[in-house]
Copies of this chain bind each other. A is one copy, B any other.
Amino acid sequence: MTQSGDFNIVPFVSVDNMMKLVLHLGPERVMTDLADYIEADFRRWESFDKTPRVASHSDVGVIELMPTSDGEMYGFKYVNGHPKNTREGLQTVTAFGLLAEVDTGYPILLTEMTILTALRTAAMSALAAKHLAPRGATTMAMIGNGAQAEFQALAFKAICGVTHLRLYDVDSVATRKCETNLAGSGLNLTACANAEEAMEGAEIITTCTADKQLATILTDNMVGSGVHINAVGGDCPGKTELHRDILLRSSIFVEYPPQTRIEGEIQQLDRNHPVTELWQVITGRAMGRTDARQITLFDSVGFAIEDFSALRYIHDQLQVLPYSEPLDMIADPDDPRDLYGMLLRAKAKAA
């Protein structure tokens, strides 16, 4: 039974507080924790209320709501994707999210999720690679050196033991930014002149580019046997990064097929093309990598349960860390049926 008078207050994590929280714990620790939270939620995959995200498309981008619930808590994320934003000095992807109690419907956390999405996306990628990449992989090619790149790099370092990073971007300024930001991270960095060069000796290939179009960042002849491909950038209808022939040679792992078939690399394939759900690999119901020569592909699009895990993680951290502020978001009259009376009393008080 809930009683107190503080139900109008929702803890809010601003961008500033999210940065403080991440810096306090350290990005590698946060992403390792996030991978643990995601893994725990993927293990109880069947207990979640799942739905493909609700997307509102326009000519220049998309705005999406991604809700899910485990029956005790309900979470959703608002996220946009506007590739042209970068040219206007804005983020391609911005996000915020909310966690609520299913029992009352009352919100218990509102948080920025632009930074948190970058962290959870990288944590998810590294978690998939932990289960799929060739054993002992230490070198990763990083094609696309934009806003997500450093997070991917540090997650693969912390979670998969990657030590060498081979960077390439069509814009060398992005690569230099990445090198600068990762100097002192302990990663061994090599800037490459093209994608082929970046892939030399790489056991893991991460593609993370942002154009909203059918692109071919990797062609078939570029990809040798035995690698793990972490395809992050293709995440909406009409936006892919890999040539179809690579997909046909790969064992494909996805988050949630009804969403990935619309948004992922596999939108290029037949609706019935076999894919494996990652949660089944994590729970041991399906095989991951079975052969050293096999190409494994994680066709990442980002699913609501990962955001739920991230919200749950931040909510747990706030039980002990001070990085939130109170937001007066829920009207809470003393008598719940007397919403109008609350207005009248506010008027009397002001008079």
Q: Which residues of A come within 8 Å of B, CB atoms?
A: 1-3, 7-8, 12, 14-16, 18-20, 22-23, 27, 49, 51, 54, 56, 58, 60-63, 65, 67, 69, 71, 74, 76, 78, 80-82, 85-86, 88-92, 94, 96, 98, 100, 102-107, 112, 114-115, 118, 145-151, 174, 177, 180-181, 327-333, 335-344, 346-347, 350
Contacts and interface: CB of A to CB of B under 8 A. Distances in A.
Nearest to A16: B328
A147 B339 contact: yes
Nearest to A154: B340
15 contacts: A7-B90, A54-B67, A56-B74, A61-B102, A78-B100, A80-B104, A80-B105, A91-B339, A92-B336, A96-B330, A118-B339, A118-B340, A147-B333, A147-B339, A151-B340
Contact of A85 (B60, B181, B336): B336
Contacts of A65: 54, 65, 67, 76
A224 B69 CA distance: 45
A148 to B, nearest CB: 8
Q: DSSP class of A's interface residues: helix, strand, loop or mixed?
A: mixed
Nearest to A144: B337
A105 B23 contact: no
A337 B146 contact: yes
Contact of A19 (B148, B174, B327, B343): B343
Given A23-B350, A54-B65, 7 more contacts: A54-B67, A82-B103, A91-B331, A94-B106, A146-B337, A147-B333, A148-B339
Given A15-B329, A336-B86, A23 B346 contact: yes
B339 A15 contact: no
Contacts of A94: 105-107, 330-331
Given A65-B76, A78-B98, A327-B14, A104 B118 contact: no
Given A85-B105, A112-B331, A54 B56 contact: no
A323 to B, nearest CB: 12
B343 A27 contact: yes
Nearest to A346: B19
Contacts of A107: 78, 94, 96
Contacts of A180: 341
A71 B23 CA distance: 39
Contacts of A12: 327
Contacts of A181: 338, 340-341, 344
Contacts of A337: 86, 145-147, 174, 177
A100 to B, nearest CB: 6
A7 to B, nearest CB: 6
A6 to B, nearest CB: 12
B102 A22 contact: no
Contacts of A146: 337
B338 A147 contact: yes
A66 to B, nearest CB: 10
A157 to B, nearest CB: 13
B82 A104 contact: yes
B82 A331 contact: no
A338 to B, nearest CB: 6
